[in-house]
């Protein structure tokens, strides 16, 4: 594995600070869902159904707001957007402990709509600060940082609510989101490279980049997070059925560790792999997990193959989105990517839960894996019929279709040829921001 690729990326000016700030800034965001759930159940003394409604409202707001906030970042820059969203988040979290459920529910929706664009902004800045030939490594590092944040955030929220109560935890969340926003405001990383800024003239119409190839990719992203969320629920159900609930945290941590290892290996590869290949492999390898018996140790082993593909699959979709859009629309596109992540996770909760109640873990793993394969096949079909290419005129790279190198499972590098379904080439303008939304669950590799 070429660790030299990591050295090249991490020695670039500002990249180490960006990735470190991004990892820390995401920790409070990953604990939002767990904090809200425990507050509704423990402090408001309501049921998990009411807690689920709050979580759904927050996710719905995030799904709607992510591309809108990303579009504002594209047009107005990072600092104004971060200032407004941080102020809104601090106000909501400070007021949270004292408001009744009837106000908390719409407040969660507003909080989702105006959530801090930390996830997408970091990815947007990675794309701007790292040369195109090293994007694969840069996005892999970002994916591993997201994984670490998700391993810390929800667990920290549970520990805080258990030790200090939900009110103190919500005040702590206010401090955390304020720190995240302030850090990114002061850091103010570039959202476009110098070359992209030099040719940036005006916003790019959506019709020039929101094409069938990108839509198929976003559908694939939703399918991927559907499988990851369903797998997490299946793990919990399997361990409960086997009387091994006490091992749940360890199994999930080991699953996340496999994702970290996979991301580390993938980022050091000389060439990237197609999201179709990685996502399809993850879904197929997840399907038979429910057939494994023999206790939690065997379950851990069964999760290794799919776990190794988590971070690579998700980082490859971020890289693909970056390749398929001009720099001037990158923030909105990353917001759409975040929306797709949210939709997949939101759908998995009730559907996988119903399958678990009706048919048990084995069928849940199998059916979820098959459902996840469907958008993968669609994306492969769309790209085979009409290879897709990035619209950026600043050399952001091209993702070839299945009839070229990507069809063999390799993502083509910068300068590769386009295709019939390529976004309409821009004469000169290209300008300048989400795995995962902060939900109750946690699936490796996101966001």
Confidence band of 210 (pLDDT split at 50, 70, 90) = confident
CB 286 within 8 A of CB 368: yes
Helix runs in 11-95, H state only: 15-30, 32-38, 48-76, 78-95
CA distance 48 to 51: 5
For residue 431, being part of any structural domain is answered with no
CA distance 289 to 398: 35
Average pLDDT over residues 315-333: 90
Per-residue pLDDT for 168 more than 60?
yes
CA distance 119 to 221: 15
Q: For 37-96, how does the pLDDT look when each residue is reduced to its tens digit (9 = 90+)?
A: 889 988 999 887 888 888 889 888 999 999 999 999 988 889 999 999 999 999 999 999
Res 376: pLDDT:
94
Indicate left, alpha or beta for 417 from its phi (over 0: left) and psi (-120 to 50: alpha).
Answer: beta
Confidence band of 248 (pLDDT split at 50, 70, 90) = confident
Q: For 115-138, how does the pLDDT look when each residue is reduced to its tens digit (9 = 90+)?
A: 999 998 999 999 999 998 899 999
Average pLDDT over residues 292-306: 86
Confidence band of 446 (pLDDT split at 50, 70, 90) = very low
For residue 433, being part of any structural domain is answered with no
Per-residue pLDDT for 217 more than 50?
yes
Average pLDDT over residues 322-329: 88
Per-residue pLDDT for 391 more than 50?
no
| Distances 199 to 23, 125, 189, 190, 393 between C-alpha atoms, Å | 31, 17, 19, 15, 9
For residue 416, being part of any structural domain is answered with no
> What is the percent of the chain with per-residue pLDDT over 70, rounded to a whole number?
85
Res 236: pLDDT:
83
- The whole-model pTM stands at 0.80
Nearest to 76 by CA among 203, 186, 177: 203
Res 105: pLDDT:
93
Per-residue pLDDT for 32 more than 70?
yes
Confidence band of 206 (pLDDT split at 50, 70, 90) = confident
Range of the domain at 210: 14-408
For residue 90, being part of any structural domain is answered with yes
What is the average pLDDT value for the chain, to the nearest integer? 82
Per-residue pLDDT for 107 more than 90?
yes
For residue 74, being part of any structural domain is answered with yes
Q: For 34-45, how does the pLDDT look when each residue is reduced to its tens digit (9 = 90+)?
A: 899 889 988 999
Per-residue pLDDT for 172 more than 50?
yes
> How many domains in the chain?
1
For residue 248, being part of any structural domain is answered with yes
298: its two tokens: 């065997």
Per-residue pLDDT for 238 more than 70?
yes
Q: For residue 316, what is the domain's CATH number? A: 1.20.1250.20
Query: 81-117: b or e for each residue (b if 16 or more CB lie within 10 Å)?
Result: bbebbbebbbebbeebbeeeeeebbebbbbbbbbbbb
Res 162: pLDDT:
87
For residue 95, being part of any structural domain is answered with yes
For residue 175, being part of any structural domain is answered with yes
């Amino acid at each position: 594995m070429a660790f030299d690729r990591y050295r090249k990326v991490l020695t670039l000016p500002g990249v180490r600070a960006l990735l470190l700030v991004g990892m820390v800034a995401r920790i409070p965001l990953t604990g939002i869902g767990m904090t809200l759930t425990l507050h509704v159940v423990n402090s408001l003394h309501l049921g998990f159904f009411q807690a689920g409604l709050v979580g759904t409202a927050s996710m719905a707001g995030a799904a709607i707001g992510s591309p809108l906030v990303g579009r504002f970042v594209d047009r107005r820059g990072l600092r104004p957007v971060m200032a407004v969203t941080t102020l809104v988040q601090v106000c909501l979290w400070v007021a949270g402990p004292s408001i009744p459920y009837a106000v908390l529910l719409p407040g969660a929706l507003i909080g989702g709509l105006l959530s801090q664009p930390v996830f997408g902004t970091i990815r947007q800045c990675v794309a701007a600060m790292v040369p195109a030939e090293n994007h694969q490594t840069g996005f892999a590092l970002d994916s591993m940082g997201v994984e670490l944040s998700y391993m810390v955030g929800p667990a920290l929220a549970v520990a805080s609510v258990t030790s200090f109560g939900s009110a103190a935890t919500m005040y702590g969340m206010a401090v955390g989101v304020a720190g995240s926003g302030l850090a990114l405001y002061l850091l103010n990383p570039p959202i476009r490279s110098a070359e992209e800024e030099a040719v940036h003239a005006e916003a790019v119409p959506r019709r020039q980049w929101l094409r069938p190839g990108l839509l198929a990719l976003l559908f694939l992203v939703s399918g991927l997070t559907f499988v990851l969320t369903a797998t997490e629920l299946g793990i919990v159900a399997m361990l409960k059925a086997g009387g091994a609930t006490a091992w749940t945290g360890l199994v999930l941590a080991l699953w996340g560790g496999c994702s970290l290892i996979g991301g580390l290996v993938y980022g050091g590869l000389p060439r990237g792999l197609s999201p179709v290949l990685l996502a399809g492999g993850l879904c197929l390898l997840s399907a038979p997990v429910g057939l494994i018996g023999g206790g939690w140790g065997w379950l851990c082993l069964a999760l290794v193959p799919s776990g190794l593909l988590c971070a690579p699959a998700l980082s490859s979709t971020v890289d693909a989105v970056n390749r398929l859009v001009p720099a001037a629309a990158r923030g909105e596109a990353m917001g759409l990517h975040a929306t797709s992540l949210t939709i997949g996770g939101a759908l998995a909760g009730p559907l996988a839960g119903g399958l678990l109640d009706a048919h048990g873990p084995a069928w849940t793993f199998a059916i979820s894996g098959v459902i996840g394969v469907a958008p993968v096949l669609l994306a492969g079909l769309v790209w085979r019929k009409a290879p897709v290419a990035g619209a950026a005129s600043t050399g952001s790279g091209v993702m070839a279709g299945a009839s070229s190198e990507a069809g063999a499972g390799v993502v083509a590098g910068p300068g590769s040829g386009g295709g019939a379904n390529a976004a309409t080439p821009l004469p000169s303008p290209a300008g300048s921001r989400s795995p995962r939304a902060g939900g109750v669950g946690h699936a490796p590799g996101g966001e």
